[in-house]
Structure 1
Amino acid sequence: MVFHHSGKKLLQGGGGVFRRAALMPFMFIFAVITILVLPGFLEQITEATYPPSLTTALAPTTTRQPTQAPSGPFDRYLDCLAARINVDRHTATEYPFPNDNISIPYIVLPVTVEEPMMISLMCNLTVHIRRLVYVQNGSVPSMTAFLDAVMAAFKSTRRVRVMRKRGNFGYATALNMALRDFLQLPFDEAPFFFMANNDVLLPGGMMEKALPLFYSASREGRDVLDALEAEVATEPNEHTPQRFRDVPLRSTDARHALVTSRLLPDRIRYQSLEQRRTAFAGFYGDLYPDSRDQRAFWAVTRLALEVTGYFDENCYPAYHEDTDMIQRLRLLGFKALRVSGWEKTPMIHIVGGSQIAALKSLALPVSKEAQAFLKGSHAIIRRRFSARYASAKCRSVMWCNSTKVAPNKQDGMPLDAFVIYQRRVCTIEQLEEQLIDRLIADPSISSPTAIRMLANAERDLGNVDRLLLDGTFYYRNGSTLRLLTDCAALLPSRPLFR
């Protein structure tokens, strides 16, 4: 069975590369000015006024907050956030959302140290957000205090929430924490999953134009889900390989080393490349409000996530998890939706969101702990752990490259599945934690020195890539799925830096 929709052709982008390139210097200058000036500008706002981003660009249905004298940028941020989630923070009143397609149903914002950029984004957006989730990564004290204050201000509502885990658990894990929450919601409340960095600036009207298209593209897949649920309920069946029948290859609960989609049936999992590429042909997967594939601010449809699965958490601590997801979407036949009309005024992504180097390059105040986190994370990323994993994955599972014929020539894992190689991930996490501790203790250590220290520590341990194993054996522990364990229990306590 091949799934098709009746779909009409939605907006597509094209061209404009030269014009965008010519505009980039001016766009970057504008972005820098915005980030530098916004906090000070907000602090000077008087009792009877609002930021221009709210007074001139708000959707007509947005509920305005009572005019009260702000005490600084944080209060103005709270006002902007309240406008986004349609809550009066002073009276703890939740206002109903308009029954329209101009709101974000669910958005996740992974955060580390970028408080000024969080303020900028909330005051730049002009549409309602029905559910907003911040996932804190890195446990930097200044961000912890910031988010605690946010939750104290909005303790009466569930429209904004904070998710946390100890330490730096990686960007893919941050997305997956929110994604599991998203997938618990009814389809009508969660037709697409929006992901964003905080260091983006959108031109006025971009989201108002994109969101109705996103809803239309996502709803095309609703009826397919019921058929998939019924089919997966019959597994294991004649399509299930013998090696996966006694311990089925299905896990979505974050308790096991194995992570799979919920609804990609074995019938499609083990098809040839040519057959599998027709499985969801015509359906939309990745959604972009711009004419470019800018994955600092994008969404994925519910159908695509239910069958493609989760972001690969072996891409630790960041990078390649999005390109891995896109490759899997394409291999199932999903296409991208890009909204044209923004070639001359595209969305601006200021700098890499996972490194947040802008905070230092723009001379914004950064705590000692945040500086150490930035420097340590930069060193980890320069060691290319994610890139090394992505390369090894392509060599083993044989489906990253579209010229390959099947997803299961080597380790047998279908494209919606991955195994968390926990000893490798925990070793990298341990390296980063100890490096950051050293950088807090001695802020004079330069970035090049930190990178050399990290390379020496990994050499002493042995190349962490040796910890990549055959997933078809590692996913199980005898007759059951292998459970994840705490890193502290898995690895010995040991000093890694001399």
Structure 2
Amino acid sequence: MKQLRLSRFALIIFAFTIALVVYWVVDTRCSSVQPLVSPTPLAPTHAGNTNTPPTLPSAPTTTELTASTSAPANPILTKLMSTVTEADLEFYECALDRFRYDGPPEEIIPVGVVPLTIERSLFRTFLCNLTVSFKHLVVIVNGFADDVNDDIKALEILLPKDHFHVYRRPEITSFSGCVNIGFEFALSLPFDEAPYLTVFNSDTRYSAGFLNRFARHVRETVLPDKPLFEQLTKEVEDEVAAAKRDNRTTLRTLGLKGLSQSVALPDRLRYGDPQVMRDLFAKHTGVFTHVTRTMCSFAVSRLVVATAGLYDENFFPAYGEDYDWVARVDLMGFNHWEPGEKNIFGSFQHILNGMLGTVGVVKDRTPASFYLGLSLRNMIDTWMIYKYTEVKWGGTAGALYAKPYLTVKYTSPFNSTGIAIPLDVWVFDEPYMNSVKAVGFRYTSKESILRYNISLLLPLNMSQYAP
């Protein structure tokens, strides 16, 4: 009898797994997956003083969208509006409000970046909590949670297409990979259109006017970065051109698979006296946080993204990537702005680990969303993030998590391995990431997880490319 019950249980699990796989495949094929490339830069929509940001276009209301008879009916919109609830309409109106603003243009956030995985309800309340507007809002749908994707599909119809940008990653990338999409998007725009960007977790809340005042402060601080940004960008372009002309191999001409590096850190700074680089960037602020160095919501200057490079995507699926990146930024000499105990902008709240807090919640969750949440929890529970941190930061790894940015004297990345690499680079290990992903989806056991392949770093050793 016991064997019979086990057999029936196995059949149920098998059928459920097959159903999920079919659902995943269908949803993946039906979704409009965009490649991981920077979008075509948008032309500036303003003239005259380039230090004045453009005003936002007027966003249509839900009534205007549904009452228009001058254009053929959108079947998706028709279906959407026939099934919406009052909560849905409130959410859509909140989203539209993020592109309506008649106040000072410097209080508009040029680029907002929001990674989304399973936190549908948090994202809804996040948008409705905001009082700030966006020039560009970039949402990265990370995974195959259909309830999240349904909300984003609705917003794609309702919101201005030139200002609301969606990237879909149904195969699941890391949180760092999602942030990098936002970084690359901002870098694809002219400096005056995106002198900085802000990254949000959906589990953050702000008092009225908080982000408006924060946006004004950040903009005033980073506008003087433009001459140095243009100088360093031109210097890197000249370096690459000279290396190609002389048939000389540099890190930027190497063409190494999985290599990520900054777009505007010239070799004279990358391989030169570290103090020279620190003295240069000490005159600039790279990171702005809402409270004492908490990276749940923050702004970064265009200059720091262009010179410090992208988040390290080997921190998979989440946690540690922000501390790693800021440690690199600190070593480069950039200032880190924080408001102190008495926040001058208002009150700020972080619902700690809000995304993971929804993992065990069944109410209003679809099977695909619930399954994705449990899988992410399994991936994080492998502890591979921390093991990678130990390899990268050696004896300071524990302090990176316990007391980030406070009293730790960081060395250069991977210093304990005997391989010296520049601060702005990292190499992605795809087999390592896939092994963590396989454990998360219960394809394999924890014992099968691969460790990060240190040999990938050998071609980066600084002594090979120093001028």
- Check whether TM > 0.5: yes
Please give the alpha-carbon distance, in whole angstroms, between the structure 2 residues aligned to 1:407 and 1:274: 20
2:427–2:457 CA contact under 8 A, matched in 1: yes
Contact kept, 8 Å, 1:112 with 1:140, in 2: the verdict is yes
Alignment of 1:307-346 (within 5 A): 307-339=307-339, 341-342=342-343, 346=347
Amino acid at match of 1:467: N
After TM superposition, give the deviation of residue 346 of structure 1 in Å.
Answer: 3.4
1:116 aligns with one of 87, 106, 121: 121
Given the alignment of the two structures, is residue 135 of structure 1 paired with residue 137 of structure 2, yes or no? no
User: Contact between 1:421 and 1:469, CA under 8 Å: does it hold in 2?
Assistant: no
Give SS of 2:239's match. Answer: coil
Question: Which residue of structure 1 aligns with residue 179 of structure 2?
Answer: 175
Residue 438 of structure 2 is aligned to residue 430 of structure 1: yes
CA RMSD of superposed structures (Å): 3.3
Work out the CA distance in 1 between the residues paired with 2:227 and 2:372: 45
Q: Which moved more, 1:337-346 or 1:113-122?
A: 337-346
C-alpha contact (below 8 Å) 1:114/1:359 kept by paired residues: no
The question of 1:458 aligning with 2:446 is answered: yes
* Mapping for residues 368-379 of structure 1, pairs under 5 Å: 368-379=367-378
Q: Is the contact between residue 308 and residue 424 of structure 2 (CA under 8 Å) also seen in structure 1? A: yes
Cα deviation 1:92-128 (Å, max 9, x = unaligned): xxxx865621111001110011111111111111111
Q: Please name the residue that 2:8 is paired with.
A: none
Aligned match of 1:223: 227
Q: Which residue of structure 1 aligns with residue 409 of structure 2?
A: 402
Instruction: Assess, with a 3 A threshold, how the Cα gap between structure 1 residues 236 and 150 changes in structure 2: closer, same or farther.
Output: closer
Q: How many Å separate the matches in 2 of 1:118 and 1:265?
A: 39
Aligned to 1:483: none
Question: Do residues 257 (structure 1) and 271 (structure 2) align?
Answer: no
Tell me if structure 2 keeps the 8 A contact 1:191–1:302. Answer: yes
Does the CA contact (< 8 Å) of 1:115 and 1:143 recur in 2? yes
- Counterpart code for 1:376: S
Aligned with residue 104 of structure 1, among 101, 106, 109: 109
User: Distance in 2 between the 1:406 and 1:76 partners?
Assistant: 47
Mapping 1:24-423, distance limit 5 Å: 71-86=85-100, 100-154=105-159, 157-235=161-239, 246-250=248-252, 256-288=257-289, 290-339=290-339, 341-342=342-343, 346-353=347-354, 355-358=355-358, 360=360, 364-395=363-394, 402=409, 404=411, 410-423=418-431
Separation in structure 2 between the aligned mates of residue 84 and residue 367 of structure 1, nearest angstrom? 27
Q: Compared with structure 1, are the counterparts of its residues 251 and 73 closer, same or farther at alpha carbon in structure 2 (3 Å cutoff)?
A: farther
Q: Shift of residue 172 of structure 1?
A: 0.7
How big is the shift at 1:276? 3.2
Contact 1:396 1:411 in 2 (8 A): no
Q: What letter corresponds to residue 402 of structure 1 in structure 2? A: K
Q: TM-score, normalised by structure 2?
A: 0.72
Tell me the percent identity.
21
CA distance in 2: counterparts of 1:337 and 1:162, whole angstroms: 30
Post-superposition offset of 1:359: 6.3
- After the TM superposition, which parts of structure 1 deviate over 6 Å for at least 4 consecutive aligned residues? 61-65, 405-409
CA distance in 2, matches of 1:191, 1:344: 21
In the TM superposition, what is the alpha-carbon distance from 1:265 to its structure 2 partner?
1.0
Cα 1:136–1:294 change in 2 (3 A) is same
Q: Any idea what SS the aligned residue of 1:234 has?
A: helix
C-alpha displacement of 1:402 = 3.0
- Which ranges of structure 1 fall in alignment gaps of 5 or more residues? 1-60, 87-95, 439-453, 476-498
For 1:328 and 1:272, the matched residues in 2 are separated by: 16
1:351-392, Cα deviation, whole Å (9 max, x unpaired): 314x4314646x742222222222221121121222211211
